[in-house]
């Protein structure tokens, strides 16, 4: 399963002052069901944060769906690969 994450990099006084932040995250099945709302939400979040962020980008990350389903029965540790 893929999770699409909008990361933002806050304006910095010096390089490395802030770590990238997750501003929005949607799973692929939700995007497939409502792609227009996903795109609209990206636009809303980017507009809301444009004064504070020097860069924003959506990154698709592959995660193990079985690990996510374990949320019902425990505390999973999710590992994934960031892809473009």
15-63 pLDDT, tens digit each: 999 999 999 999 999 999 999 999 999 999 999 999 999 999 999 999 8
The beta strand positions in the chain, using DSSP E, are 2-10, 21-27, 53-63, 80-83
CB atoms within 10 A of CB 59: 14
The continuous run of DSSP H or E covering 68 comes out as helix 65-69
pLDDT of residue 75: 61
Residue 67 above 90 pLDDT?
Answer: no
For residue 84, pLDDT over 60 is answered with no
Cα angle vertex 25, ends 20, 27, to 5°?
A: 140
What domain count does the chain have? Answer: 1
Structure token digits, residue 54: 């020097």
Segments forming the whole domain that contains residue 74: 2-83
Residue 73 has pLDDT above 70, yes or no: no
Quick one: average pLDDT of 67-83? Answer: 69
């Amino acid at each position: 399963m893929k999770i699409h994450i909008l990361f933002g990099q806050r304006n910095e006084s010096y390089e490395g002052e802030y770590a990238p932040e997750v501003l929005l995250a949607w799973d692929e099945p939700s995007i497939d069901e409502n792609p227009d709302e996903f795109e609209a939400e990206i636009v809303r979040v980017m507009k809301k944060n444009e004064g504070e962020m020097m860069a924003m980008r959506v990154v698709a990350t592959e995660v193990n769906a079985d690990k996510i389903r374990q949320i019902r029965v425990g505390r999973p540790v999710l590992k994934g690969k960031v892809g473009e």
